[in-house]
Amino acid sequence: MPAGDHAPHSPRTTVRRGAKRATYDPADIHGILADGIVAHVAVVTEDGPLVMPMVYGIAGDTMYLHGALANSLLRAGGDAEVCATVTIVDGLVFAKTSFNHSMNYRSVVVRGRARVVTDEGEHVAALHTITEHIVETWDTTRPPSAAELRATRVIALPLDEVSAKVRTGPAVNEAEDADQPFWTGQVPIVTVFGAPIDNADASAGVPPRVAGLEGRDVHGDTRSS
């Protein structure tokens, strides 16, 4: 997946290490973001950097994030520089020497100024987007109350400065290791949804969309297609 005609978005999102695996193509970036389920979001606190997992959703060129860090960001004054990284590990790569061991993965790094969403319409739309990032359930749940909306902070991050890195395929061994008497290859990692488990207080059957998750690749490219 070469960078092709797509140039880096900014100096601070130009991939420096392993640059041949970099891509700045919006289609690649949006595909990875569609296939991920959690972003690791970093902020700078007075105690140093802090990174925590957050759930997210994508609407156009905006990444909406929800999680424990949203409250920290709000306390910090609303707008703050953040970095959100989404990583999907697709497999282990074994070379003939551990120096060349690797992983197959897809990752996206977003850097920018986060904004706490305060507009009521955007807030509800953002929660809808985050809720349905993996599977559509908004219309098979009770709509949020005003108090619930107030208690659910969402931050918005523009997808203006983004880079992605992708590694696929076999191990790359040194030519001088050709005669080394060792195995080399890959072990894929497959992440799948299991069968739904009913809560004791369920008052209806499993919605078809949720039932349809079973056996599906969590990080497959079905959601991005």
Nearest Cα neighbor of 111 from 83, 79, 69 is 83
DSSP state of 217: B
31: region left, alpha or beta (phi > 0 left; psi from -120 to 50 alpha):
alpha
The amino acid at residue 23 is T
CB of 221 to a copy of itself, least distance (A): 17
**Nearest residue (CB) to a copy of itself, 5 versus 194:** 194
**Nearest residue (CB) to a copy of itself, 30 versus 80:** 80
CB of 93 to a copy of itself, least distance (A): 9
**Nearest residue (CB) to a copy of itself, 7 versus 187:** 187
Residue whose token pair is 């996206």: 108
CB of 12 to a copy of itself, least distance (A): 4
Count the Cβ atoms, other than its own, within 10 Å of residue 152: 16
Nearest Cα neighbor of 41 from 56, 31, 23 is 56
Nearest Cα neighbor of 148 from 174, 123, 175 is 123
Q: What six digits make up the tokens of 140?
A: 């098979």
**Cα–Cα distance, 9 to 25 (Å, whole number):** 10
CB of 5 to a copy of itself, least distance (A): 24
DSSP state of 170: S
Q: What six digits make up the tokens of 189?
A: 């990692």
31 contacts 86 by C-beta, under 8 angstroms: no
CB of 176 to a copy of itself, least distance (A): 9
CB of 3 to a copy of itself, least distance (A): 17
**Nearest residue (CB) to a copy of itself, 62 versus 184:** 184
CB of 8 to a copy of itself, least distance (A): 13
**Cα–Cα distance, 154 to 174 (Å, whole number):** 48
**Nearest residue (CB) to a copy of itself, 17 versus 60:** 17
**Nearest residue (CB) to a copy of itself, 5 versus 32:** 32
**Nearest residue (CB) to a copy of itself, 5 versus 197:** 197
